[in-house]
Structure 1
Amino acid sequence: MRVLQLTTNAEATYVTNQVAALADRGVESDVLEVPRSGPDGRRVTDYLQFCPTVRAQDLNAYDLVHANFGLTIPAAIAQRRVPVVTSLVGSDLMGRFGGLTKQFARFCDAVIVVSAEMAELLSRDAHVIPYGIDLDEFRPIETERARGVVDWPTDGRHVLFPYHPDRPVKNYPLAERVVERAAERTPFDIELHTVSGVEYDLIPYYMNAADTLLLTSHREGSPSTIKEALACNTPVVSTPVGDVPERVGSLDVSGVGSSVEELATKLRQTLDAAEEPGGRDAIQPFGLDRMSERILSVYRQTIT
């Protein structure tokens, strides 16, 4: 099977992981990225110009087109020679252009979303397939070793906020308030760290260096950072966004909260916990192999 993959970022981890995992199942992919005409992001004209770029491909050489992100759907459906599958990732459906994405999705032969919450936003059937993670790369590492690699102090408690603090949707000010409130009632120091723009192969070390991962986003689809942390056996405290409640609901040493007080209480509990987090076992069904198996099933249903 051969697939034309459309994306806004050919180097994004979720794209490269997906292409590699599908290749292991015999799916050959060619990746086309929406052009960028300026340094400050893409313009409407960039997406419009992507349509003839896609139509100019030898589409008879492909079994289907996979539009990875809602705003790549128009270029995918501008051709009608092969079926179209789209994957909606979160911000494309729940963000500024969500209304457009819903309309575009009606013309696709199959739709994949990363959480049940997203599926409920659509007026059509969708396959719920959360992002898979590399369970070999994201694995437990001895805490002291991990802290040495990322140059964190070995004492105190360390909380990881896994995004750039300036991204509004990630709501870093709430994370600061939560840590400040938790620190008022604990006998130990709590240090809040942010991480962004580092080499991807360092992320498992940051996950393992942290005592807890804290996510305070306004909205999410199926955040990979949550599954990555759990695969490292790092507890997670989060707002109830996307599929996070499903991922941590069965775990005693992780949880969700909607207010500063709820989140701070759960954070204190995870930092004090003596029992095993259990995240590694809970996240086993979300490896890349299982994800690619389910995507390939959608492909086969679409082309038959």
Structure 2
Amino acid sequence: MDVLQLVTTRRPFFDKQVEALERHGINCTVLEVPGGDEAARSPMAYLRFYTESLSASPWQYDLVHANYGLTAPMALAQPTRPVVLSLWGSDIFDQYDWLSRQCATLADEVVVMSTAMAGALGKACHVIPHAVDFEQFEPVPTEIAKETLGWDDGRHHVLFPYDPDRAEKDHPRAVRVIDAVNERLDTPVSLEVVHGVAHDRVPTYMNAADALILTSTHEGSPNAVKEALACNTPVVSVDVGDVASLIDGAARSAVCADDEELTTALTATLQSSEAVHGRAAVEPLRLDRMAERLTAVYRSAIDRRCA
């Protein structure tokens, strides 16, 4: 099967998805929206992408897969091939949600990252979260990872794995929680903002951290949570996306409703030495399983057009 993949920005989890699909016999050609930084792109970048996507002769492929809502109009511009639309989270919770919702009504099949997204979309769809590369994200002793990074082993280190300037990640809330935890513990706690590092170094940060904190206003199925759990790093989070289901079965992890609960849960997490068992909790999210499910969606979309 030959599939044209349209994407706003090539991210590591997307490239892993393409690699897994190709291992399952799906030949993928990827087109990325031009213009560099996603936040700084002009409307002209998407106009150029529209032209490029048509110049790629999408009718020569068996299917077009639009990854993220802003690529959907380009996928739907050609009427001859079935379209699968994958929504990642912010594309149905932010300013362009109207576009994603409208395009979802026109796509042959729609994929979302969580049941919460499915409920928000209000349309029949497939829930297939982005997967975890279990070979890349695997447990390493915390002390060794801390030594590799030069982190002080006499402190607790809590990971905030996002750009602090992204408003929806709510970095100020994470800072407030860490400040409150520091008032309750004798051992000092540092909030480690990890952003812009090479993806192959991220597992070292995940393993060096004593916990990961997530304070986002909304999420689909946050990859950082899955990657942390695959490294057996505990997660303390607000109740967004599918985090509650992801941490089900993982010790020293919690979903919280407010700052007080976040503070209490993170304090307890840092005081405990109980094994996390996070890797077992995300076992169903291996790359090959995701590829199998996406391949089935592709075949369903093709069959729908042929019916």
Give the alignment's TM-score, normalised by structure 2: 0.95
Structure 1 gap ranges (5+): none
Q: Per-residue deviation at 1:52? A: 2.8
Is the 1:119–1:126 Cα contact (8 Å) retained in structure 2?
Answer: yes
- Partners in 2 of 1:34 and 1:143 — Cα distance? 39
**Distance (whole Å) between structure 2 residues aligned to residue 14 and residue 204 of structure 1:** 14
Tell me how far 1:139 sits from its aligned partner. 0.5
Q: Is the 8 A contact 1:37 1:46 kept in 2?
A: no
Correspondence list, 1:239-254, <5 A: 239-254=238-253
3-state SS of paired residue (2:40): coil
Q: SS of 1:233's equivalent?
A: coil
Unaligned runs of 5+ in 2: none
Any conservation in 1 of the 2:35–2:41 contact (CA below 8 Å)? yes
Secondary structure class of the residue paired with 1:85 = strand
Aligned residue type for 1:6: L
Paired amino acid for 2:275: E
For 2:252, the aligned partner's letter is: V
Structure 1 Cα separation of the partners of residues 149 and 299 of structure 2: 43
Partner residue of 2:116? 117
Aligned equivalent of 1:9: 9
The residue that corresponds to 1:108 in the other structure is: 107
Query: Identity rate of aligned residues, in percent?
Result: 46
Aligned pairs for 1:158-237 within 5 A: 158-237=157-236
Aligned 8 A contact 1:5 1:68 in 2: yes
Which moved further from structure 2: 79-88 or 57-66?
Answer: 57-66
CA distance in 2, matches of 1:98, 1:194: 28
1:107–1:291 distance in 2 versus 1, CA, 3 Å: same
Instruction: Please state how far the C-alpha of 1:167 moved relative to its aligned partner.
Output: 1.4
Partner of 2:274, secondary structure, is: coil
Q: Is the 8 A contact 1:181 1:260 kept in 2?
A: no
**Residue 9 of structure 1: how far off its partner (Å):** 1.2
Structure 1 distance, partners of 2:51, 2:274, is: 57
Verify the 8 A CA contact 1:147 1:153 in the aligned structure 2: yes
Structure 2 residue 57 is the aligned partner of structure 1 residue 58: yes
Q: What whole-Å deviation, never above 9, does each CA across 1:195-226 have from its counterpart, x for those lacking one?
A: 01111111000000010001111111100000
Q: What is the DSSP-based 3-state SS (H/G/I as helix, E as strand, rest coil) of the residue aligned with 1:296?
A: helix
Q: 8 Å contact 2:7–2:66 — kept in the other structure?
A: yes
Q: Find the residue that maps to 2:3 and give its secondary structure.
A: strand
Are the counterparts in 2 of residues 6 and 68 from structure 1 also a CA contact under 8 Å?
Answer: yes
Partner of 2:76 in structure 1? 77
Alpha-carbon contact 2:248-2:281 (below 8 Å) kept = no
Q: Distance in 1 between matches of 2:187 and 2:36?
A: 50
Distance in 2 of aligned mates of 1:20 and 1:226: 21
- Write the deviation string for residues 7-35 of structure 1: whole angstroms up to 9, x where unpaired: 1113x112211110001101100001112
CA offsets 1:270-295 (integer angstroms, 9 cap, x no match): 11112111101111101111111111
2:148 corresponding residue in structure 1? 149
CA distance in 1, matches of 2:37, 2:159: 33
Partner SS, residue 184 of structure 2: coil
Deviates more, 1:183-192 or 1:208-217: 183-192
Q: Distance in 1 between matches of 2:65 and 2:150?
A: 41
Q: C-alpha separation between the residues in 1 aligned to 2:105 and 2:68?
A: 14
Give how far 1:38 is off: 8.6
Aligned counterpart, 1:20: 19
Query: Which residue number in structure 1 is paired with residue 43 of structure 2?
Result: 44
SS at match of 2:121: coil
Contact 1:223 1:244 in 2 (8 A): yes
Give the SS at the match of 2:4.
strand
